[in-house]
Amino acid sequence: MLKACLVCALLTAAALPVATTAAEPAAAGVDAARGLAHGLVEQLGARLQAAIETGGPSGAVGVCAHEAPAIAGELSRRNGTKITRVSLKTRNPLLGTPDAWEQAVLVAFEERLARGEPIAWIEFAEVVREPAGEYLRYMKALPVQALCLGCHGAPESIDPKVRARLQQDYPADRATGYRLGQIRGAISVKQPR
């Protein structure tokens, strides 16, 4: 069910125009970036779902901890791009800390959600120039769904076994206390041009 929801959310987003700024990215580039983000969400959703069905939430911690970065790494290598998961409240600061551009986009995503924009439509693309070259940058908001609460919900609602594992592995965890429909973070794609 997770998979179906995420996929339909992304497909809905795909039909909509992307907000752009002065440096407008070509539509084909945005479609490719969106496709990569979609691929990561789909693969990850399927793995999480399967792991929770067999081992419960505590059995699925490893999927988010090891498989998510591995899948993102493989997609990045195969596509010559960088695809990551970022958040304003990280669990793993090494992989999940947004850079300045990503922070600004995540803050804007929060404002768009507060103004009533449907979360499934919230994405942003822009071409940015940096010292090392030009990049197409794309981000897609990740909604908090029921499945996420088992590891990102209110601490007292998290299964004690999962909580203990999270406390041990992530002493600086800031990624709990989320409610359904909030933005947990985003998939971020950075493609050299």
C-beta closer to ligand HEC: residue 127 or 148? 148
**Residue 61 CB, nearest distance to ligand HEC (Å)?**
5
Nearer to ligand HEC, 25 or 45 (CB): 45
Closer residue to ligand HEC (CB): 36 or 68 = 68
> Please, what is the minimum distance in Å from the beta carbon of residue 35 to ligand HEC?
19
Which residues, at least 6 apart from 148, have a Cβ–Cβ distance to it below 8 Å?
A: 178, 184
Q: Is 56 left (phi over 0), alpha (psi -120 to 50) or beta?
A: left
The neighbouring-strand residues paired with 140 are 123, 187
Q: Given the rule CB under 6 A, which residues bind ligand HEC? A: 48, 57, 60-61, 64-65, 68-69, 85, 87, 90-92, 95-96, 142, 145, 147-148, 150-152, 175, 184-185
To the nearest whole angstrom, how small is the minimum distance from the Cβ of residue 47 to ligand HEC? Answer: 10
Q: Any idea which residue has 């940058």 for tokens? A: 137
d(CA 125, CA 138): 4
- Cβ of residue 154: shortest distance to ligand HEC, in angstroms? 14
Continuous H helices in the chain: 2-14, 27-62, 68-79, 93-96, 100-114, 146-152, 160-169
Smallest gap from Cβ 115 to ligand HEC, in A, equals 21
Of 13 and 148, the one with the shorter C-beta distance to ligand HEC is: 148
CB of residue 15 vs ligand HEC: minimum separation in angstroms? Answer: 22
Given the complex with ligand HEC, which of 52 and 127 has the nearer CB atom? Answer: 52
CA count, 13 A, side-chain hemisphere, 156: 0
Inter-axis angle of helices 68-79 and 27-62, nearest 10: 150
Give whichever of 106 and 127 is closer to ligand HEC, judged by the CB atom.
Answer: 106
Report d(CA 173, CA 167) in Å as an integer: 7
